[in-house]
């Protein structure tokens, strides 16, 4: 309980710092939203009036404080570009990105853990080498390239789906999910390869520990030793890695959504950065940071549950 409180406090402080940095960053980087809205030929009076209307003429820290208070109340501000509340903009896009992230993360876990166990147990050197080479190839290819390849192969050649013709989750959950399968797999593939490699190494290392010989000396079969003893130990570093992967998958959606023309926050973020639509960008950055921190918090908790030695730390 003490640990949960400690970690929660640390999570809140980190989120506060990230939100402040995100806010300040957009005050420093070049580009004025009023120029984007009014165009470069607008008169200084008009620009000044709009700055006052948007509150941009007030001191930065005051604006941050107002923004933070509103953010905590669920009011993320109004988009300069769409002239709509950021909350309503995100409400349309966020479920798509979350669905894509979760689908990709589930694929990573469900595929990589059995494969990692298999790779950790395989005795044949030839099979092991083949696995390592295949793994390295998959790891080296970026997700967007898998995305482009799968769009071409499954969309254009095999015509299994129509690239760009995204079916909204609100129209059809099954249709939406099936459209998200390939982008999710493209995002997951390098992560799967990395997790398999990590789990393989972790299992092999654990198999050399004395407690494995002790279990053998008690008459336990190799399969039971793997499941009852080795796996929990081997999974400890993998859980941390999977948390990092979950965070990276979420940020990876920004590009993959462009490749598959998926109307998630990735596309909204890219267009908002271009338009200097700060309220939208700030809200997305803080939400992404919150996701990363929550996932790491869960991983920390899982690791504490799995490894009692961490309890004293």
Partner 1 sequence: MSLLEVNNLRVHFHDAAPDRFAVDGVSFSMEKGDILGLVGESGTGKTVTSMCIAGLLPRWKADTEGSITLDGTEIFDCTQEELNKILGREMSVVFQEPMTSFNPVYRIGRQVGESLYVHERGLSRAEKKDRVLKAMKKAGLQEPQEVYRKYPHELSGGMLQRAMIAAAIVTSPKLLIADEITTALDVTIQARILDQLKKLNRESGMAILFISHDLHVVNRLCKSVIVMQRGKIVESGRTEDVFSSPQHAYTKQLVAAIPSRGRFDE
With vertex at residue 15, the alpha carbon angle to CA 10 and CA 21, rounded to the nearest 5 degrees, is: 130
Q: Per-residue x/- marks for partner 1, 228-267, CB under 8 A?
A: -x--xx--x-------------------------------
Check binding of 126 to partner 1 (CB under 8 A).
no
| CA trace torsion 107, 170, 143, 114 (10° rounding) | 0
Cα R_g (the chain), whole angstroms:
24
State which of residues 28, 171, 308, 313 lies at the interface with partner 1 (CB under 8 A): 308
Contact 118, 197 (CB under 8 A): no
In the complex, minimum distance from the CB of residue 234 to partner 1, in angstroms, rounded to a whole number: 10
In the complex, minimum distance from the CB of residue 126 to partner 1, in angstroms, rounded to a whole number: 16
Contact 193, 143 (CB under 8 A): no
In the complex, minimum distance from the CB of residue 217 to partner 1, in angstroms, rounded to a whole number: 4
Cα separation, 253 vs 276, in Å, equals: 21
Continuous segment of H or E residues that includes residue 93: helix 86-121
Give the largest Cα separation in the chain, rounded: 86
State which of residues 164, 213, 271, 274 lies at the interface with partner 1 (CB under 8 A): 213
| Contacting range for partner 1; rule: CB under 8 A; set: 68-76, 205-213, 269-277, 286-294 | 205-213
Nearer CB in complex with partner 1: 41/210:
210
Check binding of 221 to partner 1 (CB under 8 A).
yes
Nearer CB in complex with partner 1: 215/284:
215
Contact 254, 147 (CB under 8 A): no
Check binding of 208 to partner 1 (CB under 8 A).
no
Measured between alpha carbons, how far is residue 165 from residues 101, 168, 183, 260 in Å? 19, 9, 13, 9
State which of residues 69, 211, 271, 274 lies at the interface with partner 1 (CB under 8 A): 211
Contact 297, 291 (CB under 8 A): no
Check binding of 16 to partner 1 (CB under 8 A).
no
Check binding of 3 to partner 1 (CB under 8 A).
no
In the complex, minimum distance from the CB of residue 229 to partner 1, in angstroms, rounded to a whole number: 5
| Contacting range for partner 1; rule: CB under 8 A; set: 92-100, 219-227, 247-255, 259-267 | 219-227
| CA trace torsion 227, 232, 233, 236 (10° rounding) | 140
Check binding of 216 to partner 1 (CB under 8 A).
yes
Nearer CB in complex with partner 1: 159/309:
309
Give the tokens for residue 229.
């003893």
Check binding of 219 to partner 1 (CB under 8 A).
yes
- Residues of this chain that bind partner 1 (CB under 8 A): 209-211, 213-221, 224, 229, 232-233, 236, 306-309
């Amino acid at each position: 309980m003490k640990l949960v409180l400690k970690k929660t406090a640390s999570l809140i402080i980190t989120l506060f710092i990230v939100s402040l940095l995100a806010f300040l960053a957009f005050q420093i980087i070049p580009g004025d939203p009023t120029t984007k809205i009014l165009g470069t030929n607008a008169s200084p009076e008009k620009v000044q009036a709009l700055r006052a209307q948007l509150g941009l003429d007030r001191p930065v820290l005051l604006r941050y404080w107002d923004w933070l208070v509103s953010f905590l109340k669920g009011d993320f501000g109004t988009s300069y570009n769409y002239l709509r509340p950021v909350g309503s903009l995100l409400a349309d896009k966020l479920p798509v990105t979350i669905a894509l992230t979760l689908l990709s993360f589930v694929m990573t876990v469900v595929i990589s853990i059995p494969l990692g166990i298999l790779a950790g147990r395989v005795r044949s050197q030839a099979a092991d080498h083949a696995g390592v080479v295949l793994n390295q190839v998959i790891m080296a290819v970026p997700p967007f390239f898998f995305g482009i390849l799968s769009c071409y192969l499954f969309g254009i050649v095999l015509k299994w789906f129509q690239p760009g013709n995204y079916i909204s989750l609100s129209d059809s959950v099954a249709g939406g999910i099936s459209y998200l399968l390939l982008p999710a797999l493209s995002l997951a593939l390098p992560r799967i390869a990395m997790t398999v490699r990590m789990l393989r190494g972790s299992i092999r290392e654990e198999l050399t520990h004395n407690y494995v010989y002790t279990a053998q000396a008690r008459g336990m079969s190799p399969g039971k030793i793997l499941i009852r003893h080795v796996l929990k130990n081997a999974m400890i570093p993998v859980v941390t890695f999977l948390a990092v992967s979950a965070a990276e998958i979420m940020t990876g959606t920004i590009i993959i959504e462009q490749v598959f023309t998926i109307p998630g926050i990735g596309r909204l973020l890219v267009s908002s950065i271009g338009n200097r639509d700060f309220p939208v960008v700030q809200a997305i950055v803080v939400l992404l940071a919150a996701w990363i921190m929550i996932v790491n918090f869960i991983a920390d908790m899982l690791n504490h549950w799995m490894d009692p030695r961490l309890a004293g730390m």
